[in-house]
Amino acid sequence: MSNTLSGKHRGAIRRGRGELDIDPQQLAEIWLRQQQEGKGLIGGDPARRPRWKHPAPPEPAPWYRHGLASPTHTQRLYEFLAAAPLEVEIGAGDGRFIVAWAQRHPQRHFLAFEVRWKYARRMYARAQKHGLTNLWVSDNDARVVIPEVLPDASVEVFHILMPDPWWKPKHQAKRLLAPWFLSILARKLTPGGILRVETDVKGYPEFVETLAASEPLLALHNPALEARFADAPLTTRQIWCRDHGVPVYRRFFRRRLAASARLTPPKK
C-alpha cells in the first residue's frame, strides 16, 4: 500500500485552526440533544431518509446500509461480525489504513464506517482491488449503527483515526466523541479490548482523556498499548501530517477486564 499522497489528496487536506474549542455548558446541551433528538447525525437518521442519492453496491457485496439492507444481507453481516476477532474503524476516509491493516490480518474481521459516500466508495474499491474478504464497509453514521448492530463485548479494537474536529460552534453536534457514545463503545469492546484514538488537533487528546475518565468501563490512557500498533499503516491524513511535520497525538484506552466500576478514582 502506497505511503505517499497523490496530488488529488494533497489539495483536499487543510491545516487545522489551532486548539479544540470546548465550552462545557455548550457541550452538555449538545450531547443531550444528540441523544434525545439525534442532532448532528451526519446524513440524518437513515430510518427517516426517503431515498439515498448514491447507490450502494448490490447485495451480497460487503456493504451495509442500515434500514435498507435485506434481512438476508443483515444476517450475513451478523455472521461476518461473529466469525472472527473483530476490529472496527469509525471515520475511515478512503480506507488507506483499514484496507492495508485487513490485508495484514487475514484471520481477523473488520468493519469500517465512512459517512461520506465518495470516500466509502474509494475504500470499497481499494478492498475489491486487493480481493479482501475480511472487510465490510458502511456509509452510515456509526453512531446510529453501532448501538443497533454490534453485540456487546464483541469488538477487540475500535480505531478512531484523525476524527473531524468540527471547529465551528454550530457544527459541534457532529463531533463523534461524546460521553453517551463513548459509553456505547466501551460496552461494545471485549474485556481487555482497546479504543485507539489518534489526532493532530491540539486539545483533542486531553478532551478524550477527560471523557474516558468518566467512563467506568474504560481504564485510563495507557501509552504502552501503542506498541501493538507501532507498525500500523498510516491514514491519508496521517501521511499528510508526516509530510508537513504536524505532530499526531495517540491515546489508548482498554476496557476493564471485569465489568465493574472503577476501582480507584482518577487522580486530580
Ligand X SMILES: C[S@@+](CC[C@H](N)C(=O)[O-])C[C@H]1O[C@@H](n2cnc3c(N)ncnc32)[C@H](O)[C@@H]1O
Which residues form the catalytic set? 164
Q: Is 65 in the site for ligand X (CB under 6 A)?
A: no
Q: Please say which residue, 98 or 132, places its beta carbon nearer to ligand X.
A: 98
Least CB distance to ligand X at residue 240 (A): 8
Q: Please say which residue, 160 or 225, places its beta carbon nearer to ligand X.
A: 160
Nearest Cα residue to 139 out of 239, 219, 62: 62
CA torsion, ordered 165, 171, 173, 177, to nearest 10 deg: -10
Least CB distance to ligand X at residue 257 (A): 28
Q: Please say which residue, 56 or 92, places its beta carbon nearer to ligand X.
A: 92
Q: Is 62 in the site for ligand X (CB under 6 A)?
A: no
CA distance 26 to 35: 15
CA distance 32 to 28: 6
Least CB distance to ligand X at residue 15 (A): 12
- What is the SS3 assignment for 7-30? HHHHHHCCCCCCECCCCHHHHHHH
Binding mask 140-169 for ligand X (x = CB under 6 A): -xxx-----------------xxxx-----
Q: Contact, 195 vs 160, CB < 8 A?
A: yes
* Whole-number Cα distances in Å, 47 to 52, 113, 144: 11, 17, 10
Instruction: Point out which span in 14-22, 64-72, 115-123, 248-256 binds ligand X (CB under 6 A).
Output: 115-123
Q: Which residues, numbered 208-237, are part of the site for ligand X (CB under 6 A)?
A: 235-237
Q: Contact, 156 vs 84, CB < 8 A?
A: no
By beta carbon distance, the residue nearest ligand X is 91
Least CB distance to ligand X at residue 184 (A): 12
CA torsion, ordered 153, 154, 156, 158, to nearest 10 deg: -90
Q: Is 196 in the site for ligand X (CB under 6 A)?
A: no
> Which residues on neighbouring strands pair with residue 20, listed in sequence order?
none
Q: Which residues, numbered 8-47, are part of the site for ligand X (CB under 6 A)?
A: 42
Least CB distance to ligand X at residue 3 (A): 13
Residues near ligand X, by CB under 6 A = 42, 90-93, 113-116, 119, 141-143, 161-164, 176, 235-238
